[in-house]
Chain A
Amino acid sequence: MTAIAHSAVSVHRARTLQDALDQLSQAPLQLLAGGTDIMVEANHGGLRGRHFLDISGLGSELGGHSWLPDGALRIGALCTYAQLQADARAQAELPMLMAASRLVGATQIQSRGTYAGNVENGSPAADAAPALLALDAVVELRSLAGTRTVPLAHYYTGYRSTARRSDELISALIVPKPDGGVSCQFFRKVGTRAFQAITKVGLSARIVWQGGQITDARIVATSMAATICRAHHIENALRGLSDIDAAAKSALRRAQDADLRPMDDVRSSADYRAEVFHRLVLQAASETRPS
């Protein structure tokens, strides 16, 4: 291999899922589906020396989405934001995921980008992955060794690292039918501007109210840690609350400090993230409360 070839980009285009799994079993390759995160790096020469497995042609095996008999949604690895947004049932049952999908980049990005890619990319500022996490989604992984599933809640092992082995690819994401109906779903992204923005702080929540008190909660934070993550202390502090009074607010803030230590970066600051996330939690609790 010459020096120049060594530093060039290589792309292997998978013909079938079997071919893709064969390739992955032989060498670690970076998966390329929608390419919307990868192409950004290409602008700055950042792809030099990297090797890709292009699975974008495997639509017949990995594309589309389907509703399972138990009401769960199965999102194929190549299902795009635009495709799922065109599904009326998704719009009706999963408003938080649809709200997140609408805020991914622009129309062009939504037409190319995939949910699985968003999950695997592992950005702490991801748009769709936090909504999926708040919906208790499960990641389905395929390799020559077979299929296994990992709850999204356990999928991230660190900054941009995941539980996927190098011989595996995400074949689907499975979103169980959510408890509590649509009124308990809350999604709010605070970006650097209205659209085409990266999240400075975001909350994806499911807060279930029953008999005047909160009985269950999923609180997922975006851009508040090295990965998107659940805020378990906040979830615990919410459970059992019937009134968001001053004491509850300060308990929630203390819980947040135990869960999340946001950072300063080029887009925002730790103090802003902490303050606004707290306010978003209060807003979510208030807006999900049955009137």
Chain B
Amino acid sequence: MPDGNQLSKDHRVGKSIPRPDAKVKVTGALHYVDDLPFEGLYGATVRTKTARGRMTGLRFKDGVDVGVDWREFAVVTANDIPRTSKLDGIDPNQVMLIDRDQPFLVRDEFRHVGEPVCLLAHPDPEVLRRAVDLVEIKTESLPAVLDYRQPPTDAQVQRGEPGPDANLFKRIVVSKGAADEGDDAFSKVFEDAAHIVSGTYETQAQEQCYIEPNGIIARVEVSEADAQGALWPANPWKLIIEGSMQCPYYVHKAITHLFQLPDDGVQIIQAATGGGFGGKEDYPSIISGHAGLLALKTRQPVKLIYDRVEDMAFTTKRHPSRTHLRAALDADGKLLGIDMDVTLDGGAYLTLSPVVLSRGAIHAVGPYRVPHVRVHNRAVLSNTPPHGAFRGFGAPQTVFAFERHLDRCAREVGIDPVELRRRNLIIRGDALAISQRIDEPIELHKWMDEALTAGKYEERRAAHAAFNEAAETSGSPLRRGVGVATFMHGAGFTGSGEDYLASEVMIRAAVGADGLGGVEVCTANTEIGQGAITIFTQIAADALGLPLSAVQIAKPDTDQVPNSGPTVASRTSMVVGHLVARASDDLVRKLESQGTLSDGDLHPNPDDDRASALSDARGRKFEPTALRGALATAAAQDGGALEGWATYQRPPGGKWNDVTYKGIAYGTYAWATYLADVEVDLTTFETRITDFVASQEIGRVLNPLLAEGQIQGGVVQAMGWALLEDTVYKDGRITNPNMTNYVVPTFADVPDVQVLFQESPYAYGPWGAKGIGELPMDGPAPAILNAISAAVGVEIDALPASPERVMRAVLAAQSSEVSS
């Protein structure tokens, strides 16, 4: 573990080394899935048009007048999939995720607009597109849930029995203090409080808007005997999937199940991927299944690429949420109790909703010391396409509600919102709402003050008060406000998740482009724009004491790399990066034990700066030239190149209890204070963000430029969620699935985002690093809405804070003033 904050100067970690994948991306030389050389058929998906019903038949309408000859098409429906798997007896037509309620193709009942019913393949994509419109789906309609906030009628119940648990995907209760003792004790906390403050907060679905839409190519390898004839081969066969994705092994799990193939019968290869943000966490499994079915049916390669509209209309988005919040405070503004009720709209199938709900629940009360807490969380069904993973994963919803509520509490108590936070932030040794004691050396008050100083909080508060008063007098429509959010984000899978994953990383001796010995890092973690290739290169080079050029990163391919887990949950640098360092150690120990490296190769002045408490920096003890020589020898040895391995090992400390929802939810957290400065124009009710400061403690900055980019990108994505981005639904169908009417910010809409880092190294991250991918999504929306609320003097409690919403709130407040 590093001692203090300083790394020795020869480290690559901590420096903004250029991305190894930069040149091919900037020059356009890199092939994304739709750019790959391809000869085969194109696939398309026929989808339901209504929110809920039963399919009674399909009709393929005559298409001669538009050049569609049905004899030229391959058609796949659910009837092509057997009802029970010959492997485990389960219906193969179910997407293997947490539950198995979602079909690859509709057999009978369907639950959302755009549910896949039928797949078509044809050599000409233009003819294919026309054919899709010619497939008529005959249906009987069933009552749909179009507003997740309303309790369902009996006829709308699609999961569970009518009653309080109707259409419930998952319920989680976080409880602490008096709430553990029962309702009476918890009620007493509120009865005795000097202030009780209530509010209701809502957030909307958000589209990930990765630059590259989803796309998959599927190929089959069948024996000669199976080249023709039955759809399902009699002899062993192989399915190869290549495409845009975050999690090759998630796709692998889903595809082996659908095709009833053994693990080695399915090969999943990640193509260069143009962004994910969670949107390519689980959905590529479905597209892979579809492309695979068409490839199997035709025994030809099939390419299935979504265009922007199809991708926006039917793939996953951030869960909408509604939160009721009640806070009990003493006369000084100290939080005594929090009673919170969170509902997430899961959409039509369960998908990842329970874990999104869980992360939201755990982050709900933030980095605050609250003695008595009850957070009741539910994910419920509605008849829209399933909501899924999106950067932040449930935390942005609850952090928004809580941080917005703290500002309301501050006004009620009569103190500054920052002062209210200062009085309630945890210090080292305090426990979070989930009863996790924070023993790492945190200094949240100091870190918050650094952010406030950088954002000139006090000066702005004073200046804005004077400005707004003058504007009121002069009739100017401009109002200014500053707002703050203080929050945290746990990196890696929640609770025991990393134990179940048991991720593995392998590092192989290899010969580099320069002919000298080096290593190849083999993980299933994907480069999706965030810089995984760069970070792994830095970590392996530093763990081994080798130059960057001696490190290669293997392409994620399930035939070639071990399962190091999904590229999600801010875990790639912290969890998998740590495994890269430990696998490097293992490789060097093996070189020693087989005698390829000997004591004579030891460095005269060894550098034993270890990557973490669990690594031994073995490579750094050797003279680099000797190590490279040994690696070259080990790369060429009989029986294959020498491999170093590492398997996830839980850091020492307590465990997580999934039943009580108490314990160590995350090994560590990143801590942050964000500040937004805004100007609202009361002529148009438009908000301009005039300044933004994002300050966070992230353990160790592995690559300053990438880290700053990661934070700025997340902040801008959250600014879009806060002010502009809205999904508009009518009868369960999104009406703005395009970049014209789903409005994301451009450079003109966002200020320069000032990024500050504090570093308090985490003992079990590589050189102290914590995960940062999702953190910047959590704080901007509440900071911005706190600023708007301060500027206009009216609480704005729902996202996005569009001019329309701000106008209604301001006018409603004015008319209630007039009438009272």
B110 within 8 A of A: no
Neighbour of A7 across the interface among B67, B746, B748, B807, CB < 8 A = B67
Interface assignment of A197: CB less than 8 Å from any CB of chain B: yes
B741 nearest in chain A by CB position: A266
From B414-422, B449-457, B682-690, the one touching the partner chain is B682-690
Please pick, from B67, B309, B683, B749, the residue contacting A280 in the complex, using a CB distance under 8 A: B683
Verify if A283 is at the interface (C-beta below 8 Å from B): yes
Instruction: Report yes or no: B740 in contact with A198, Cβ–Cβ below 8 A.
Output: yes
In the complex, the answer to whether B803 meets A266 with C-beta atoms within 8 Å is no
Asked if A190 contacts B686 (CB within 8 A), the reply is yes
- List of A residues within 8 angstroms of B724 by Cβ: 192-193
B65–A3 CB distance below 8 A? yes
Q: Are B808 and A4 in contact (CB under 8 A)?
A: no
Query: Judging by beta carbons under 8 Å apart, are B741 and A272 in contact?
Result: no
Query: Does any Cβ of A come within 8 Å of B607's Cβ?
Result: no
Interface string of B462-480 (1 = CB under 8 A from A): 0000000000000001000
- Tell me the chain A residues, 239-289 only, with Cβ under 8 Å from chain B: 266-269, 271-272, 275-276, 279-280, 283
Q: Is B811 an interface residue (CB 8 A)?
A: yes
B155 at the interface (CB under 8 A from A): no
Docked-complex contact A193 and B803, CB < 8 angstroms: no
Instruction: Tell me how far the C-beta of A29 lies from the nearest C-beta in chain B, rounded to whole angstroms.
Output: 22
Q: A193-B724, A193-B743, A275-B811 are in contact. Are A3 and B684 (CB under 8 A)?
A: no
Is A39 located at the chain interface by the 8 A CB criterion? no
Assess whether B331 is interfacial by the CB under 8 Å rule.
Answer: no
Q: Is B26 an interface residue (CB 8 A)?
A: no
Decide if A276 touches B66 in the complex (CB within 8 Å): no
Query: Most chain-B CB neighbours within 10 Å: which of A45, A271, A275?
Result: A275
**Per-residue 0/1 for B652-695: is the Cβ within 8 Å of any A Cβ (1 yes, 0 no)?**
00000000000000000000000000000011111000000000
B736 contacts the other chain (Cβ, under 8 Å)? yes
Q: Is B728 in contact with A196, judged by CB distance below 8 angstroms?
A: no
Q: B64 to chain A: which residues have CB within 8 Å?
A: 3
**Partner pick for B683 among A193, A271, A283, CB 8 A cutoff:** A283
Q: Which of A197, A266, A269, A276 contacts B735 (CB 8 A)?
A: A266
| Distance of A183 Cα from B807 Cα, bound (Å) | 29
The answer to whether the Cβ of A50 comes within 8 Å of any Cβ in the partner chain is: no
List which A168-203 residues lie within 8 A (CB) of chain B.
188, 190, 192-198, 200
A6 proximal to B (CB < 8 A): yes
A40 interfacial contact with B, CB 8 Å: yes
Q: Mark A1-21, 1 if CB is under 8 A from B, else 0.
A: 011101100000000000000
With known contacts A193-B743, A279-B683, A279-B684, A272–B67 Cβ distance under 8 A:
no
- Select from chain B the residue with minimum beta-carbon distance to A6: B65
Given contacts A271-B808, A276-B807, contact A194 B684 (CB under 8 A): no
The digit string for B722-753, where 1 denotes a CB below 8 A from any CB of A, is: 00100010000001100011010110110000
- The interface size bin for chain B is 20 to 34
B192 is an interface residue with CB less than 8 A from chain A: no
Find chain A residues with CB under 8 A from B683 CB. Answer: 276, 279-280, 283
Residues B67 and A195 in contact, CB atoms below 8 Å apart = no
For B67, B308, B684, B748, which residue has the most chain A Cβ atoms within 10 angstroms?
B684
> Distance in Å from the Cβ of A105 to the closest Cβ of chain B?
11
Please tell me which one of the listed residues B65, B728, B803 contacts residue A272 in the complex, with CB atoms under 8 A apart.
Answer: B803
Supposing A266-B728, A268-B804, A279-B684 touch, asked if A45 and B743 sit within 8 A by C-beta, the answer is no
B65 and A193 within 8 A (CB): no
On whether the beta carbons of B309 and A7 are closer than 8 Å, the reply is: no
Whether B803 pairs with A190 at a CB distance below 8 angstroms is yes
- A-chain residues with CB within 8 Å of residue B460 when the two chains form the complex: none
B129, CB-defined interface residue at 8 Å: yes
Please state if A272 and B736 are interface contacts (CB–CB under 8 Å): no
Given contacts A3-B67, A194-B746, contact A269 B804 (CB under 8 A): yes
B743 touches A192 (CB 8 A): yes
**Chain A min CB distance to B311 (Å):** 13
Closest A residue to B720 by CB, please name it: A193
Q: B686 contacts which chain A residues (CB < 8 A)?
A: 190
Rounded to whole Å, the gap between the CB of A289 and the closest CB of chain B is 13
- Are A276's CB and B685's CB within 8 A? yes
Is there contact, CB below 8 Å, between B67 and A4?
Answer: yes
Q: Is the CB of A272 within 8 A of B740?
A: no
Select A195's contact among B126, B684, B685, B746, beta carbons within 8 Å. B746
User: How would residues 741 to 780 of chain B score, 1 for a CB under 8 Å from any chain A CB and 0 otherwise?
Assistant: 1010110110000000000000000000000000000000
20 A-B pairs (CB sep. < 8 Å): A3-B64, A7-B65, A44-B309, A45-B126, A48-B130, A190-B684, A190-B686, A192-B743, A193-B746, A194-B746, A194-B749, A196-B746, A198-B740, A266-B736, A272-B685, A272-B804, A276-B807, A279-B682, A279-B684, A283-B683
The 4 A-B pairs with the shortest beta carbon distances in the complex, nearest first, are A194-B748, A4-B67, A272-B804, A192-B743
**A198-B740, A271-B808 known, 16 other contacts, Cβ within 8 Å:** A3-B66, A43-B308, A45-B129, A188-B684, A192-B724, A192-B741, A193-B724, A193-B745, A193-B749, A196-B746, A197-B743, A200-B803, A266-B741, A275-B807, A276-B807, A283-B683
